[in-house]
């Protein structure tokens, strides 16, 4: 999916910013970060399938309870607001998606199709491209066996793209739809070389937040272990101690998306980038948690389905393209993540 460096940069510095999935884990952190950056200067429209709690809605100029799969409601947003950026976070994650694959398809693919079309329509109305930021995932990878996973080590963006979950299939499909909208939409018949949608995506690893506990994901064992220990609760980890995938802290994840959004398009050689930070095994996370919470009761009770998913995700992702093209560098490695972010914040949160 390497792209030529010829496309123009966008002019989306004015206009409204639409955030879907604003009630989710990443939405929580991103909405606050966007409000701190643009609040008062630009409209920030928050959208979620459920009504946003007041403390979250304060970060937005408008908040809508609306389903991304409802195309009429999505079209209507483009009529009401001069949208120049879409941060499309709404999705059903990997474990939840396996419980209802058809619903995952509807939300993750049809919802994204509605948002991409909205971006193209808004671009046509404003006469300049609309930026589309899309958090993708390591779930787009599918390594066939554990032996191959260990042999592969760190995978590049173009390897092992045979996901075994509906969520991974959906996210990969949306990456491809984004590439189409960014490079080819309505260009074949038109006498133009630029595109309406400036689609940019990062494949995120498991994300650890000290403020929120994720639901419906398969990388959830990392944050769950930690939040349980901080509350003095026992935790039975649903993957084996040797299970290994990459992780990142939420502040680094939010910063990476914001940084990617601010780089001139001409600097980007790709549509979709890996971004990684650290890649501990479940056992290494447990050992780190015990350093700070020596009484933590962590046991292992792997479930077949979730273990299979984790075994299909790579041990790490090669993010050298992101480092080279837009200077990606995580602030938190494994040690700093705990010492400087997770532990101080989580202790303040639970008063322990």
* Nearer to ligand AKB among residue 203 and residue 332 (C-beta): 203
DSSP 344: H
Q: How far is the CB of 323 from ligand AKB (least distance, A)?
A: 21
Percent helix / strand / coil, the chain, rounded to 5 = 45, 15, 40
C-beta closer to ligand AKB: residue 15 or 205 = 205
Q: Which is nearer to ligand AKB, 93 or 257 (CB)?
A: 93
Contacts of 190 (CB under 8 A, 6+ apart): none
Among 78, 142, 206, 223, binds ligand AKB (CB under 6 A): 206
Residue nearest to ligand AKB (CB): 217
Per-residue binding letters, 135-154, with ligand AKB (x by CB under 6 A): --xxx---------------
Site string for ligand AKB, 92-131 (x = CB under 6 A): -xx-------------------------------------
Torsion of CA 36, 42, 47, 51, to 10 degrees: 70
Q: Is 64 labeled as catalytic in the residue annotation?
A: no
Which candidate, 223, 301, 257, places its Cα nearest to that of 215?
A: 223
Q: In this chain, which of 111, 142, 178, 217 binds ligand AKB, going by CB under 6 A?
A: 217
Smallest Cα–Cα separation from 31: which of 109, 87, 82? 87
Considering Cα of 277, then 280, then 286, then 291, what sign does the dihedral take? negative
Closest CA to 15 of 74, 83, 62, 63: 83
* 167 vs 293, beta carbon nearer ligand AKB: 167
Of the listed 167, 221, 273, 341, which one is catalytic? 167
List the 83-88 sheet strands across, edge first: 62-65, 44-48, 16-20, 83-88, 130-137, 197-204, 272-274
Note whether 149 and 314 are within 8 A (CB).
yes
274 touches ligand AKB by CB under 6 A? no
Q: How far is the CB of 92 from ligand AKB (least distance, A)?
A: 9
- 103's tokens: 């619903």
Q: Per DSSP, what are the bridge partners of residue 130?
A: 197
Nearer to ligand AKB among residue 219 and residue 276 (C-beta): 219
Which of 84, 114, 201, 219 touches ligand AKB (CB under 6 A)?
219
Q: Which stretch binds ligand AKB (CB under 6 A): 1-9, 82-90, 105-113, 132-140?
A: 132-140
> Binding to ligand AKB by residue 222, rule CB under 6 A?
no
Give the interface with ligand AKB as residue ranges (CB under 6 A). 93-94, 137-139, 167, 204, 206, 217-219
Active site residues: 167
């Amino acid at each position: 999916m390497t792209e030529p460096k010829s496309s123009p940069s966008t002019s989306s510095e004015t206009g409204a910013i639409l955030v879907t999935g604003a009630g989710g884990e990443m939405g929580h952190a991103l909405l606050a970060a966007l409000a701190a950056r643009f609040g008062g200067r630009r409209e920030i429209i928050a959208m979620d399938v459920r009504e946003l709690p007041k403390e979250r809605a304060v970060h937005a100029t408008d908040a809508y309870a609306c389903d991304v799969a409802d195309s009429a409601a999505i079209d209507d947003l483009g009529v009401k607001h001069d949208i120049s950026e879409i941060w499309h976070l709404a999705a059903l994650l990997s474990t939840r998606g396996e419980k209802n694959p058809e619903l995952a398809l509807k939300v993750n693919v049809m919802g994204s199709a509605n948002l991409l079309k909205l971006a193209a329509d808004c671009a046509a109305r404003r006469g300049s491209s609309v930026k589309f930021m899309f958090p993708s995932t390591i779930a787009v990878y599918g390594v066939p066996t554990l032996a191959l996973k260990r042999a592969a080590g760190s995978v590049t963006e173009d390897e092992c793209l045979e996901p075994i979950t509906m969520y991974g299939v959906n996210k990969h499909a949306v990456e491809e739809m984004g590439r189409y909208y960014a490079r080819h939409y309505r260009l074949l018949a038109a006498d133009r070389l630029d595109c309406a949608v400036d689609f940019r995506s990062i494949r995120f690893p498991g994300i650890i937040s000290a403020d929120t506990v994720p639901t419906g994901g398969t990388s959830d064992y990392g944050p769950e272990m930690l939040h349980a220990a901080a509350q003095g609760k026992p935790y039975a980890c649903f993957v084996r101690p040797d299970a290994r995938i990459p992780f990142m802290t939420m502040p680094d994840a939010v910063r990476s998306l914001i940084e990617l959004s601010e780089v001139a398009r001409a600097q980007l050689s790709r549509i979709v980038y890996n971004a990684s930070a650290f890649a501990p095994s479940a056992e290494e996370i447990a050992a780190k948690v015990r350093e700070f919470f020596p009484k933590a009761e962590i046991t292992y009770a792997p479930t077949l389905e979730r273990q299979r998913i984790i075994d299909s995700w790579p041990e790490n992702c090669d993010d050298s393209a992101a480092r080279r093209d837009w200077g990606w560098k995580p602030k938190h490695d494994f040690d700093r993540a705990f010492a400087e972010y997770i532990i101080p914040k989580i202790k303040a949160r639970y008063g322990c």
